Structure 1
């Protein structure tokens, strides 16, 4: 069977990797690194290859290069081998090939992934310690890419900004994607660019999952139910109150002075409309409200009359205009995915939309720009121009791609205050340890402002949300700040591999309180009653049996207890044990509530 042709895309930088045969080290002494860097510089000059980034490690070599053709890139790698391998074999009295199979290669979209891949190479994001020799300076080898030059006007500022970028969290799912695309010789790019190139090259450019595809899809009803139960308990524990939404709702909710106008009914499309109707009915009692809902939503596209059903668990927050609520909800989602064990499979994408007028002005500018060419558009494109002209920018149509090069940019319509607001949110996410990606191609389907976000697994959206102050204010008839998100249960359920991931039963015990001696049994019961009042959503039980202490702790773990409290003989002091942690913390009956609150929030 012939080998697969290596993927090469002209005009794209390529991430390449060389590894030692059977795990053999590529470098043993300092002189080896110097010899390889010399070969690197000579090969780049000989075949007109630009090296944008590189790192040398004992186990592997990573390079990001730009070449004029596939032949130039292949010749570049071959020259490295002809220069370095004979030197290495002669120095260490060996023979044969030094490389493991062919070199790995992955083209990447520079506008989105250049800095990320440069960080992956130089900041040891692959977990391998890198080394640069004391011989040639990297400046003698590296040719700056245009994306690097766009960071700042001078070299000092460029290095400073890249250093700041490397200090921000990097999502584990993104590292896994880079590794998979590199090992499978696939494209690292946004969905829009990937689809366009796939249509041009008539082949699949996406990394594939390992193993044979399943012949059937097993039922995941139990997983869906379990995820919904976990989401409900998770939101209740964090101060969100449940509301019940009607399956049938009015098409529009329009408040004018003291009259409300409704059009014919429809099936529920989202939970936000029902939550806003609740805010309209109970405005006098609502202040800084946090509510959540669950249920089935029914969507319908303009070109398709069939309904699309999706199960969601959503959360909305009202009367909070600062970035604190946006940060809270993003942290909530990150913690929930971590609790489910899928955090390493998710990526957070953000985009800044500015104040409510910014997106309107941007769409108006796009309409003015595209309208003279509208007679050349397909019916679907004319529909997009009418409602969502920003989607034309990322179209695969050759005409629209040409027009997009000079199309208006949303940044020209965003105020300085909104930009500073977005920077503060980015810094807060960095402090919270949440990796994010500024996706300038992310625009909402509904009317949002300031911030819109999506959590994705590759191209599959598992949660989405943002701020919608103007839309909410217009709907309820008075000024109100609103921010929310929705977990998409179906896509989340697809992330679970039943052979590897199992959700803990929601009926497991949260806290077990053990009486170390019979004389403190009463204090144990009173403490349990106090904690049930303070944390009504938690399952709490006591153990005042006469079993050995080690046996009671073992029983607590077997019941799935997240926290075990041991009341000491004085009836006042406590030992707090976390699940799977042999060490304990000391606290008191009076302060245990505050202590538990911090643990339960960040778990």
Structure 2
């Protein structure tokens, strides 16, 4: 048998790259926490009907891209292709609506779609998303947009563009759907094959076609903004005014429809030009009818999702790898010294220090070379002599200054050690041993 490899459309995220993921997750967690969003974790697979009812059977996601299978109980199961439907199912099933007020939730994790793999788009992909349930206030629309913008800017993305549109309510959308069909039908034979199929099933998706002739035909298509009711227009105008009040610039994009059937009113995408080519890094919108559609009470809602793979590609091209500081690298040689090194390293970890213990058993020279590459602030060295005396040789890696001290003293000087390490992390140098021991 040959070597087993990862399935097409999946990939390993190795430690060199994971540091970017950790930076993104930590940044999002901090910003969302400060805005009173609470994390929710839902199952990776759900009943297929959840997505057929929630996303829409006429969508590409349901029709072409879902990983669906029968389990051993002959139940139709689907790996989640997006996060919102599962969060809404949980909101209903667990009675979160009964708590009253507005529920601010966020999630992160893998999603699954059977698509042609390409850079930044895998069959197993990852998202961070938010859902605000229980508010029809335009301020909720603007809050989620502002938070997404804050996360992306904090991560270092500078040239961001916000595209916004309104899909109106269900009646507005139905009227616009018919107007679009009426406009496109005479051009049916000139549309690409996918758009011909969508003409009666999901005509709004034709506006998102990448086919050049279809795009050319769509240029003169009616605008959904001309089919909004007075209430829908009032809501959208308020959203735009609040964005202006916050200093968030935007561009109206009447062709922005998003790919899922549950969207109503505000739809938006945040696009980055940092790679020289446009890349959508965040997309979302309002979905006021979804909770009721899935069997819950009438509950307005809005949310977004950030695609992590595409965001990580951006960060890797824009930034150096985030630095991970290691406090101590422990080098030891000899049976007694190696046993003491293990104990000393564990005690330092319990005191809050990050410690890497060299487990190679190789000569000191090779261990010192690894210590140099580790990025550690200090190196702790134990040989036969140190083991016999219950001491340790502490060497600061930048200044090469070193001193032999007792292991007991080392463990008691935690406050001074932390100051020394913090000095290095902020300035790149240590202040020296003389004041410490």
> C-alpha deviations, 1:236-271, integer Å up to 9, x for none?
23211111111111112369xxxxxx9711111111
Question: How far 1:372 moved relative to its partner?
Answer: 4.8
**What is the TM-score when the length of structure 1 is the normalising length?**
0.44
Note if 1:318 corresponds to 2:156: no
Ranges in structure 1 where 5+ consecutive residues have no aligned partner: 1-216, 256-261, 509-544, 561-603
Question: How far 1:412 moved relative to its partner?
Answer: 2.6
Partner Cα distance (2:216, 2:245) in 1 = 40
Question: How far 1:301 moved relative to its partner?
Answer: 5.2
Residue 230 of structure 1: aligned partner: 27
Note if 1:336 corresponds to 2:151: yes
Note if 1:392 corresponds to 2:224: no
Question: How far 1:463 moved relative to its partner?
Answer: 0.9
Residue 418 of structure 1: aligned partner: 232
Residues 102, 132 of structure 2: 8 Å contact kept: yes
What are the residue-to-residue correspondences of 1:46-61 with 2, within 5 Å? none
> C-alpha deviations, 1:71-115, integer Å up to 9, x for none?
xxxxxxxxxxxxxxxxxxxxxxxxxxxxxxxxxxxxxxxxxxxxx
What are the residue-to-residue correspondences of 1:478-493 with 2, within 5 Å? 478-493=297-312
Partner Cα distance (1:444, 1:353) in 2 = 10
Residue 347 of structure 1: aligned partner: 161
Residues 192, 214 of structure 2: 8 Å contact kept: no
Change (3 A) 1:401 1:435: closer
Residue 78 of structure 2: aligned partner: 266
Partner Cα distance (1:396, 1:333) in 2 = 26
Two-structure CA RMSD over aligned residues (Å)? 3.7
**What is the TM-score when the length of structure 2 is the normalising length?**
0.59
Partner Cα distance (1:400, 1:498) in 2 = 33
1:441 aligned counterpart, secondary structure = coil
Residues 288, 300 of structure 2: 8 Å contact kept: yes
Change (3 A) 1:289 1:330: same
Question: How far 1:395 moved relative to its partner?
Answer: 5.0
Residues 473, 481 of structure 1: 8 Å contact kept: no
Residues 384, 391 of structure 1: 8 Å contact kept: yes
Change (3 A) 1:507 1:234: farther
Partner Cα distance (2:209, 2:194) in 1 = 11
1:496 aligned counterpart, secondary structure = helix
Partner Cα distance (1:464, 1:506) in 2 = 34
What are the residue-to-residue correspondences of 1:468-547 with 2, within 5 Å? 468-497=287-316, 500-501=319-320, 503=322
Ranges in structure 2 where 5+ consecutive residues have no aligned partner: 1-13, 55-73, 328-413, 427-437
Change (3 A) 1:426 1:477: same
Change (3 A) 1:341 1:365: same
Residues 289, 317 of structure 1: 8 Å contact kept: yes
Partner Cα distance (1:507, 1:412) in 2 = 59
1:384 aligned counterpart, secondary structure = helix
What are the residue-to-residue correspondences of 1:301-316 with 2, within 5 Å? 308-316=123-131
Residues 453, 465 of structure 1: 8 Å contact kept: yes
Change (3 A) 1:546 1:369: closer
Question: How far 1:448 moved relative to its partner?
Answer: 0.9
Partner Cα distance (1:224, 1:405) in 2 = 39
- Consecutive aligned runs of 4 or more in structure 1 exceeding 6 Å deviation: 504-508, 554-560
1:225 aligned counterpart, secondary structure = helix
> C-alpha deviations, 1:27-78, integer Å up to 9, x for none?
xxxxxxxxxxxxxxxxxxxxxxxxxxxxxxxxxxxxxxxxxxxxxxxxxxxx
Change (3 A) 1:476 1:231: farther
Residues 139, 242 of structure 2: 8 Å contact kept: no
Residue 445 of structure 1 is aligned with which of 253, 259, 262? Answer: 259
What are the residue-to-residue correspondences of 1:153-168 with 2, within 5 Å? none
Question: How far 1:488 moved relative to its partner?
Answer: 1.3
> C-alpha deviations, 1:486-506, integer Å up to 9, x for none?
121111111224784454769
Note if 1:435 corresponds to 2:249: yes
Partner Cα distance (1:374, 1:491) in 2 = 34
Residue 285 of structure 1 is aligned with which of 74, 99, 107? Answer: 99
Residues 228, 489 of structure 1: 8 Å contact kept: no
1:354 aligned counterpart, secondary structure = coil
Question: How far 1:291 moved relative to its partner?
Answer: 0.9
> C-alpha deviations, 1:143-201, integer Å up to 9, x for none?
xxxxxxxxxxxxxxxxxxxxxxxxxxxxxxxxxxxxxxxxxxxxxxxxxxxxxxxxxxx
Residues 327, 428 of structure 1: 8 Å contact kept: yes
Residue 197 of structure 2: aligned partner: 383
Residue 368 of structure 2: aligned partner: none
Question: How far 1:292 moved relative to its partner?
Answer: 0.9
Change (3 A) 1:415 1:500: same
1:476 aligned counterpart, secondary structure = coil
